Amino acid sequence: MRRTFTWLPWVLLILVIIGFLGWQQLQKPKAPVAPDGVKMPAEKVEPLIDTSRSGGVVSYSAAVKVAAPAVVNIFTTQKVKQQAHPLLTDPVFREFFGDQLPDQYGQSPNENSLGSGVIVRPDGYILTNNHVIAQADQIVVALQDGRRAEAKVVGTDPDTDLAVIKIELTQLPVLPFKLSGNEVGDVVLAIGNPFGVGQTVTQGIISATGRSDLGINTYEDFVQTDAAINPGNSG
d(CA 141, CA 132): 12
Residues shown for the chain: 235
d(CA 158, CA 162): 6
> Which residues on neighbouring strands pair with residue 77, listed in sequence order?
112, 138
Catalytic residue among 123, 131, 137, 213: 131
- Give Cβ neighbours of residue 143 (< 8 Å, ≥ 6 apart): 69, 72, 149, 169, 172
Catalytic residue among 52, 116, 161, 221: 161
Catalytic residue among 90, 113, 221, 234: 234
Per DSSP, the three-state class of 106 is strand
Is 85 a residue of the active site? no
Is 123 a residue of the active site? no
Q: Residue 164: name the closest of 65, 58, 235, 88 by CA.
A: 235
Active-site positions read 131, 161, 234
